[in-house]
Amino acid sequence: MKDFSEFENKIGITFKDKALLRVAFTHRSFLNENRGSGNQHNERLEFLGDAVVELAVTDYLYKKFPDRDEGALTSFRAALVNAVTLSDLASKLSMNDYLLLSKGESKDVGRARQFILANTFEAFVGALFLDQGMEACISFLETHLYPLTDGIVEGRLWQDAKSYFQERAQDEVSLTPSYRLIRENGPDHDKQFTIGVYIGSELVAEGDGKSKQEAEQSAARKALEKKGWS
């Protein structure tokens, strides 16, 4: 049995409703193997938390960058709340240690785990919103997510990677990159896509995302790094 009090101590937040915290960490696969557990999976909380994170981050960026236009703010937000950023942050907060997964999912520590962690981060925020309200969520995000903003902006990690990779590929090798769907996983309401970016017949890199567009951006970012064109 997971001891979520350890997690509460680590992040300095004590839940009034402990059941909410447990649900936030419960993946659908866990219930398939533990049907009599009385648990719920975290997808409804993820839905709520996604909206809370987006609103909070939008408000934060709007106030932090008063001279930036809507396009730039949208790009900053996308870089701050994408699956890669949120899964990395979830890992740093040791959320991986408290996941309730099926035995099969527990063995997969690759891309699928990245999405599970990002979704769990959002589910946790949804649970915190229900337990303690918006101010508690903002305080949590101020401590853990907002500090990543300056690095993202200064490192231009918000940039449209697809457009930039196309420019560099045309300059360097006189070819236009192409993108192909490699695979898709998950139910219709929670699809995960893997896209490959090619220069000619060469597969340069693969990227993942909750949409094909997000996966293409991820593939382009990885391709820029691989080619040394960042």
Please give the positions annotated as active site.
50, 122
Q: Which whole-number Å values give the CA distances from 97 to 4, 6, 19, 45, 187, in the listed order?
A: 10, 10, 18, 19, 25
The two three-digit tokens of residue 43, written as one number = 């997808």
What are the backbone angles phi and psi of residue 145, rounded to the nearest 5°?
-100, -45
Q: Which residues have C-beta within 8 Å of that of residue 203, sequence separation ≥ 6?
A: 196, 197
How many residues does the structure list for the chain? 230
Environment class of 65 (CB within 10 Å of its CB; exposed 0-12, middle 13-18, buried 19+): middle
